[in-house]
Structure 1
Amino acid sequence: MSREALALIDVDGVLNPHGSAACPPGYTEHELFPGELVRVRPEHGRMLLRLADRYTLVWATYWEDEANRLLAPLLGLPRLPVIPCAGPPGSQQDKLVGIAPWVTDRAVVWFDDLHSTAAHEWAASRGAPTRLIHVDPVGGLADVHIDQALRP
């Protein structure tokens, strides 16, 4: 595996802003799971690809492989590596359980709407550069978040 820096990408709350009752401007709703609408903004693919010169893009979502199958084609993204984040069905385990051993000592930017206390402690204790980028689940990922990840 490469020693490149990683950009960890969550879906719900980041690419699928579920925090508002109405679909935000620029998004369209898709029924990717039976009876469940997912909000998609096609520009997110272009935005994330801005990171590709500096970071390896990686899914860090409870969607796991479904992100490649269902969402990547709508965003114009290639298949991305997937960090196993989901615990047993119905569990709400902290994603950090899968993320920490997967990233090892690489530099990381992590886009999520719910960074746990444990994630903040982990980030502060790492020797490698680690930036947790909070995304508001009402508006979703924006250029300001990408700019934050690209800042030195």
Structure 2
Amino acid sequence: MTNPSLPAAPPPVPTLLFLDVDGPLIPFGGTPEQYPDGYPTYRPARRLRVPESGANPLLPRIDPALGPRLAALACELVWATTWMDEANECVAPWLGLPDLPVVHWPEPAPDDLPGGPGVHWKTRPLVDRAAGRDFVWVDDEVTDADRRWVAEHHPGRALLHRVDPHHGLLDADFAAVEAWLRS
């Protein structure tokens, strides 16, 4: 039985999912042996808000079926891409997603090192953005150096999941993220 004089517990803070575009959503770098007819292409989930002529020519490589799968994850999606606001202008509508929060990357100072040898330039800004919250980072450039740096500098839980850029997000990637979110 609850005590009506006590305030209700605050709702849990959702895990953040930082999502890159090039590599996870737009596959690239596959060989002719892997894709003899080129990469598969798709149509957007809904009508784009920008004219087709103004859209990025690589957008048709994004499978719109990824949108509902991403939206169904038990987390808060955040664009963590050099596309920045363009991800909401082009990619979100392609996937049938609403506008998402965007990481705006800071301009690095000349003596501003990202965290040490091998640490990706996105790593420290993402840890700063997470501000102690649990997070997943889905990118094709994540390395063990990034994982070590995050483990040393982030008080919350973090999954840094590397996606093979030749194929983009696959069922196995979703399974790994979903299992981590449930754990």
TM-score range, shorter chain: 0.7 to 0.9
Structure 2 letter corresponding to 1:46 = P
Alignment root-mean-square deviation, CA: 2.4
- Alpha-carbon deviation of 1:121? 2.2
CA distance in 2, matches of 1:75, 1:107: 25
Quote how far apart the aligned CAs of 1:15 are: 0.2
Q: CA deviation at 1:50?
A: 1.9
List runs of 5+ in structure 2 lacking aligned partners.
1-11, 44-51, 109-119
Match of 1:20 among 12, 17, 30: 30
Partner of residue 106, structure 1: 133
Q: Is the 8 A contact 2:138 2:160 kept in 1?
A: yes
**Aligned sequence identity (%):** 36
Residue 116 of structure 1: how far off its partner (Å): 4.6
Determine the structure 2 residue equivalent to 1:130: 158
* 102 and 85 in structure 1: CA distance in 2 versus 1, 3 angstrom threshold: same
**Count of residue pairs brought into register by the alignment:** 142
Which residues of 2 match residues 9-48 of structure 1 at below 5 A? 9-20=19-30, 22=35, 23-25=38-40, 27-28=41-42, 32-33=55-56, 36-38=57-59, 39-48=61-70
| 5+ residue gaps, structure 1 | none
After TM superposition, the score normalised by the length of structure 2 is 0.68
What is the aligned partner in structure 2 of residue 76 from structure 1?
96
Which runs of structure 1 show a deviation greater than 6 angstroms over 4 or more consecutive aligned residues? none
What is the TM-score of this pair, normalised by structure 1? 0.81
Q: CA deviation at 1:115?
A: 1.3
Greater gyration radius: 2
Q: Check whether the contact 2:123–2:150 (CA below 8 A) recurs between aligned residues.
A: no
Higher strand fraction: Structure 1 or Structure 2?
1
| Cα pair distance change 1:143/1:85, threshold 3 Å | farther
1:96-140 alpha-carbon deviations (Å, 9 max, x no partner):
242121111000111000015552223222321101111000100
